[in-house]
Chain A
Amino acid sequence: VNKSLLVKYFRTQISQDPDVASAAAAIRSLLEFLKRDQSETLLGLRENLTEAIRRLGEADSSVAVSSGGELFLRFITLTSLEHLDFSQSKNLLVERGELFLNKISLSRNKVAKLCHTFIKDGAKILTHSSSRVVLKVLENAAADKKRFSVYVTESQPDSAGKLMAEKLRRLNIPVTVILDAAVGYIMEKVNLVIVGAEGVVESGGIINKIGTYQLAVCSKAHNKPFYVVAESFKFVRLFPLNQQDVPAQFKYKADILKTAEDLDKEHPMIDYTPPSLITLLFTDLGVLTPSAVSDELIKIYL
Chain B
Amino acid sequence: MADADETSKQAERNTNVGDGIAVKKQDIARAKNEGKELTKDEKQRLRKEKKQQKKNKKDDKGESEHENVPLPPSQAVVQCQSQKAPSVAPSLALTPVSVCTSEKPAKSKAEQRAERRARQEADRAAKGKKGESAQQPPSGKSKAPPNELQPVVKRLPEHVQVDDPAAVRKLAKKLERQQIPVRSEYGYKVSLFSHLHQYSRKAPLTQQISIPSTVIHPYIVRLGLQYSQGIVAGSNARSIALLHAFQKVIQDYKTPPNEELSRDLVNKLKPYISYLNQCRPLSASMGNAIKYVKKEISNIPCLCKEEEAKKQLLSCIDNYIKEKITLAATTISAYAIEKISNGDVILVYGCSSLVNHILCDAFDKKRKFSVIVVDSRPRLEGREALRRLVKKGICCTYVLISAVSYILPEVSKVFLGAHALLANGYVMSRVGTSQIALVAKAYNVPVLVCCETYKFCERVQTDSFVSNELGNQYT
Contacts and interface: CB of A to CB of B under 8 A. Distances in A.
A241 B339 CA distance: 8
B157 interface: no
Nearest to B447: A241
Interface in A198-242: 241-242
A244 B413 CA distance: 12
Nearest to B338: A239
Contacts of A242: 446
Interface in B339-374: 339, 341
Contacts of A244: 341
Contacts of A245: 339, 341
B408 to A, nearest CB: 15
Nearest to A239: B339
Interface string A66-98: 000000000000000000000000000000000
Interface of B: 339, 341, 413, 446
7 contacts: A241-B339, A241-B413, A241-B446, A242-B446, A244-B341, A245-B339, A245-B341
A21 to B, nearest CB: 29
Interface residues of A, number: 4
Contacts of B413: 241
A245 B413 CA distance: 11
A245 B339 CA distance: 8
Interface in A237-289: 241-242, 244-245
A36 B413 CA distance: 48
A291 to B, nearest CB: 11
A242 B446 CA distance: 8
A242 B413 CA distance: 10
Nearest to A244: B341
Contacts of A241: 339, 413, 446
Contacts of B339: 241, 245
A28 to B, nearest CB: 32
Nearest to A242: B446
Nearest to A241: B446
A25 B293 CA distance: 55
A242 B412 CA distance: 10
Interface string A6-38: 000000000000000000000000000000000
A28 B400 CA distance: 59
A245 B445 CA distance: 13
A264 to B, nearest CB: 12
B17 to A, nearest CB: 67
A298 to B, nearest CB: 16
Contacts of B341: 244-245
Which 7 pairs show the lowest CB-CB distances between chains A and B? Answer: A241-B446, A242-B446, A241-B339, A241-B413, A245-B341, A245-B339, A244-B341
Nearest to B413: A241
A245 B341 CA distance: 9
A245 to B, nearest CB: 8
A242 B341 CA distance: 12
B344 to A, nearest CB: 10
A51 B341 CA distance: 27
B409 to A, nearest CB: 15
A244 B345 CA distance: 14
B443 to A, nearest CB: 12
B440 to A, nearest CB: 12
A242 B447 CA distance: 12
A245 B446 CA distance: 11
A242 B440 CA distance: 14
A241 to B, nearest CB: 4
A257 to B, nearest CB: 18
B416 to A, nearest CB: 14
B32 to A, nearest CB: 58
B369 to A, nearest CB: 14
Interface in A35-78: none
A262 B413 CA distance: 25
Nearest to B344: A244
A209 B413 CA distance: 26
A138 B413 CA distance: 41
A181 B163 CA distance: 63
A174 to B, nearest CB: 39
A155 to B, nearest CB: 26
A63 B57 CA distance: 81
A277 B339 CA distance: 23
A45 B339 CA distance: 32
A245 B412 CA distance: 11
A272 to B, nearest CB: 12
A293 B339 CA distance: 21
B102 to A, nearest CB: 54
B302 to A, nearest CB: 40
A242 B414 CA distance: 13
A213 to B, nearest CB: 13
B140 to A, nearest CB: 54
Contacts of B446: 241-242
A264 B339 CA distance: 19
